[in-house]
């Protein structure tokens, strides 16, 4: 939707292992890197979740890089080698609101 909030700044906070997103409506989301790794919606992670498998994710996992995907999402690459997850803005916004 044209009036949906969009990110105006994305900051990787290495010291605390967090990703911070400032939105166009003034809201700020802050996520632990490990929480985002567990929230991955790639096919492999969705299948593991459907089987109720535990996705191995150490608390000290870090985001290695952030890749823009068009104007609608980012791809997060983690230091455990996982780089398949695409995180659309609306999904990140829901996660940031605790949905």
* 8 Å CB contact between 74 and 87: yes
Predicted confidence (pLDDT) per residue in 21-58, tens digit: 999 999 999 999 999 999 999 999 999 989 999 887 88
> In angstroms, rounded to a whole number, what is the distance separating the alpha carbons of residues 38 and 94?
15
Strand partners, 65: 77
At 58-74, the pLDDT tens digits run 889 999 999 999 999 99
């Amino acid at each position: 939707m044209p009036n949906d909030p969009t990110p105006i700044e994305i900051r990787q906070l290495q010291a605390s292992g967090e990703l911070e997103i400032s939105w166009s409506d003034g809201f700020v989301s802050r996520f632990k890197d490990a929480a985002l790794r567990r929230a991955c919606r790639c096919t492999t992670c969705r299948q593991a979740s459907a089987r109720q498998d535990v996705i191995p994710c150490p608390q000290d996992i870090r985001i290695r890089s952030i890749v823009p995907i068009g104007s609608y999402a980012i791809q997060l690459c983690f230091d455990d080698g996982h780089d398949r997850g695409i995180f659309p803005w609306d999904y990140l916004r829901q996660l940031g609101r605790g949905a």
